[in-house]
Structure 1
Amino acid sequence: MKTTAPAERDMQATTATGRDARTAVLTRAKRANVPLRKTFVQANKGAASRHGPLKDFVTGRDLRGLKAYLLIVAACSNGDNGWSTTHDSAVWARLMDIHETATDQSARTGAWRTLRRLEARGLVTCGREGTMITVTLLREDGSGDDYDRPVGDTEENRFLQIPTTFWTLGRDEQLDLPGLALFLVVAREKNWSTFPAEKAPEWYGWSADSHERGLKKLVALGYVERREHRTKAPLSPLGFTVAHQYQRTAATRPRKPRKTAPSASR
């Protein structure tokens, strides 16, 4: 049996993990929830195609890229640094967990390539100086337009919210690509909405099978709950039809802001 030397155990205990890095980034961002324009998931009604930029991550099997992009939105969308964030390439690799399965140089290269894929999709811009990489957000619809914080005042500015506990408690680590994509789909809609798999190719751009697998994963993890909804149908054999409705559970819903205590009068 292989044993770990005390010095090696000490090093493992004091070396930051990917979750540690993500938590540090979110702590610095000082927010309870992360806003993401709904057009990232699905274009608004009336568009030539309903597919949003999320489609390319799913069909391209780019789970690493999708996780990286969502974290960048979380890190940058408070606007403290002009919608940008800068880290050493080794830190970027740690944020993406690449360091766990690659040498230092390979991990750095993998992180840079991942960020460049996001740039090619019109979601960010990347700048590099030595080992330092700066990433700046662009608009979530992939248009390449400058980013601004969505405030919900127009159809184009409607947004969903992801609680920062999604990362700090490691819930993101449990999701595969269909699960993460469907998490965003469910988050985009009102509570107890239906998500018919046969509509997935038209509405989102991926297969019905991926759609169903994603919903099943979310229910199994307890991130989403499901119920049956019956609709009267006089001409159907049973006299009704059944559809499944979904909503996020309390564990993955946006967190309510804490109320600040009133200051004492002087």
Structure 2
Amino acid sequence: MAEIVEITDPADPRLRDYRDLRDVQLRTQVETAHGLFLAEGEKVVRRAAEAGYEARSFLMASRWLDGLASVLTASDAPCYVVSEALAEEVTGFHVHRGALASFHRTPLPSVAEVLDGARTVLVLEDITDHTNVGAALRNAAGLGVDGVLLAPRCADPLYRRAVKVAMGTVFSLPWTRLPDWYDALPSLGAAGFTTVAMALTDDAVDVAEAVAGVDRLALVLGSEGHGLSSRWLETADRHAVIPMTGGVDSLNIAAAAAVACYVARER
């Protein structure tokens, strides 16, 4: 059972996992170096624990202890109980969802493991916004995608903001990073997947047409600013668009992923 420890000093070194959470650059360096990630909110903390991640510690106001009692009972990690004002001082923001937890990261699966038995995968290239990555993973999980592959420069799905937006689905949906960016799409083709790149190109067809009749499908999406790289556009099997009206040419990456995943599910 977790040891309940009351802390009143914001400089207490035991709170180091939770410092300066609004500083993205600092936090990504700290979390990578120490092999940790943070979960925010009762539901997300519970989902991380239920997915088998080992807690390093918990941080919460006393009023949240009852809601996470079963998680705390099953863990040996310390639970630091602080005032809401102290939590805000340490983290740099109002912890309105009440609870935070620091968890140990686990090794990512191989690409082959993510693809094993998968019929539909989402492939993301250079999407650096954590909110968009989290939303894309949540959409993928909810719309029947079997796994997600991320290019090396994509934002970290286990960064707190991404986890929060994904509502913890990042813990249950298989995902990993692609070790070989250059030949990523040809490698998917060799594994039996048809790669359909969402892109505003002259030869792009309606996404419903592009995925029709495809057995194993890889939906490929790039960043909002520059879209997919020329290499990935050249090596994709097909190019597809979401038909738009009103003079709008495209959707936010998370919205586009949702539409594409829904259409893929309907095939």
| TM-score after normalising by structure 1 | 0.26
From the two aligned structures, give the one with the greater helix fraction: 1
